[in-house]
Structure 1
């Protein structure tokens, strides 16, 4: 039995050692997320699709080459009438083919406008990918520091269990001596049970945090590692400092869409302009009734739409309205980003202040608990005062750890707002 117990203990140690063999830094987590995120892979496809659309638009500058062929079987051959007589002009059954090369010579910028639309939308897709990547990084930061905070909360809850167990033993000893009533003992036992529940809740928060981080980084759900907090305390931005939004992906993407709208307006305005073209063609039709069965021709000409109802004017108005819409969206996005930045800076400053207050409060809480326990042992204080002192100390530690978490997340939000995360 002892051998089996020893083997199980060694196995658990081996598993634990494997799970925590290597530390996981925040930078490592961000790199893994960037490499394995399915959402980013999907966004990268959008970028590739947009780039291929640029290639599609560029083909309008190249000549169009078409080949067509077939076989025609008619019930009767076509013929001319000469009085009461007729003369067939073609065979009733014949093969044919057509080969043509069509090249646009000049279309008043319609082709270049279409190419510009595709190019600007391709740039917008690339900037949007950057924004998606920044969002993913912020989630990783929140999950990473969330785990570290939860681990600290587990330690605080376990310390509380130790303190409450010590208090229970003291209450048991005093009760056995007949100094205190059974209520003190029962209160201590209930508080021990409550503290153990807090440990379970904190441990569950750690496990859920790992599940989220593993999902974001593409790791197995049961992966565990030693997290390393190598970040330095963020530098507080100066008062009234204007954020630099030039690196914000969403804003750059929206600006690119506005640029695409400019080209769309230009394209719509050229719909009634003529298009000059050149065409080379070979038309073959098997016909024993004529001398020339293959016609080779070169054509230089133009084509223009003279009237298509209100469609052309409507397309111009539609393009102008789309440009105005995207310009309004750009202005709104810039304002929302400035608001996001300002709120993150405020949260950063408040979290920094909370940490300084909590650090002093922890020292005071420890001393308060010590004095309260001494008073209780000397039959001066009450059991309720001891429980309250311990609860206050645990809450102060919890506030401190959460303030540290809020500080790091707020710093990441500041960088996210400016596109520098």
Structure 2
């Protein structure tokens, strides 16, 4: 359709179709031309319980009649208080402080500023952030700085700050990662490590083991380096547990959450911090306050959605649904593996991924990706491959026949491409 909208991650010069979605329910998106499209990637990894979940929609509708927006600097409201209390109840006990923001990228910006502020107010000159190769933490300036450098951010290089880098802990090469981290943590200017726990999403659904995550946390603790867990994608059950850090028995100093925080319904994020992080900023000196906010920090309507999501997690068997979906994903990728040829089939919780064999470029800019997207779109399946990596990350409510259609389309693509 004709539009003046500039879409994200879209090259409009290619004139690719932009379907108009009119409504959604469960795992299905309904378009203006009458198609029912299976949302096999949870609309960019956000939708957990399904589109337009009744409990979340009801909470949003009710809140719109009470309080729509409130400045959060020096004021508060019931939905925010409920969300903060709910998070404290289910997240690690040492994460005592809840700071609201608007998106995954901003939750990372907040985490970086908290970490640097912590060292600044302690009078220690620690400013270096350590990151993992192939990582992605968002598209704002700080978040781009701690992500992989390349086509995503090449035009903005002059704005990005320097970081220390460790290699991705590929199977058999984990020790190299740990050695690199040890060397950087010994440097007196190292402030924090930020990681995507267990799986690097935009980097190609790259999976590493909990024992490596645990070892990285131990190295940071030994050297007094802050450990930031970016669980924007991995949180809320995606990896099989509430957070990915649970699988390693790891508690970060700072935790970033978004996407599934509201069940994927409306934008909201939090950065949870340990008490020492808060105390470093706590003072009678107004100059030591944490200088970060946005106009819509802790928006009451978004918080109402998050409170409803937390109630669903408390009162419904969400992890049972996650486990059931994880089993179905494993079964489908194993079935496909018996009949088709592709590389590196892998699963983690509700996430399944595989790499199509190609003689061309295999990175994000592979020309295979847009051809695959078009192929799946023609079959009423929303999949958005990362280069030659095809992954499935559906809402937990996806029906058996819907998931079968997704994997049938993938099988057809493996044969066709």
The TM-score, its normalising length taken from structure 2, stands at 0.18
The TM-score, its normalising length taken from structure 1, stands at 0.18
Structure with greater helix share of residues: 1
Q: Which structure has the greater CA radius of gyration?
A: 1
